[in-house]
Amino acid sequence: MRFLVFMIPEVYQPKNGRKPDPHFTPDAEMMAKMGKFNEELRKAGALLSVDGLHPLTTGARLAFSGGKASVTDGPFVDAQEVVGGYWMLEAKSKQQVIDWMKRCPAQDGDVIEIRQVHEPSDFPADVQATARDA
């Protein structure tokens, strides 16, 4: 099974009226710890991919209504939580991913979200056939 694991850094979460820090850069010590953790995942055969993301203030969000998209560009996007990076992992179970992520060198206030990725076999046969024909 594949799992997408999101890192929602504390610095990207507005709290007590504080705005998220759009210019946050982790320090060298934190990057070294995270690099060691990622290497452990890679050696275990669990890591399919990993990347950090630029802040949402440099990106855009699209909202859909009535068949049309409205675009909000950063830095004007107002979000409660923003993903700072992700891991794509291969695991036997959600619990295995939870056990891995408990070892992550996250900082106080960081949040990690784990979501299983749909596989074609998760869908009914008619949906699988439609997806194959597309």
Tokens of 2: 């594949």
Sorted by sequence, the CB contacts under 8 Å of residue 89 that are 6+ apart come out as: 2, 3, 4, 5, 41, 46, 47, 48, 97, 100
The CATH number covering residue 11 comes to 3.30.70.1060
**Domain limits for position 18:** 2-133
Per-residue pLDDT of the chain (134 residues; tens, 9 = 90+): 999 999 988 877 777 666 766 677 788 999 999 999 999 999 999 999 999 988 777 788 888 999 999 988 876 656 667 788 999 999 999 999 999 999 999 999 899 999 999 888 888 888 878 877 76
When divided into structural domains, the chain yields a total of 1
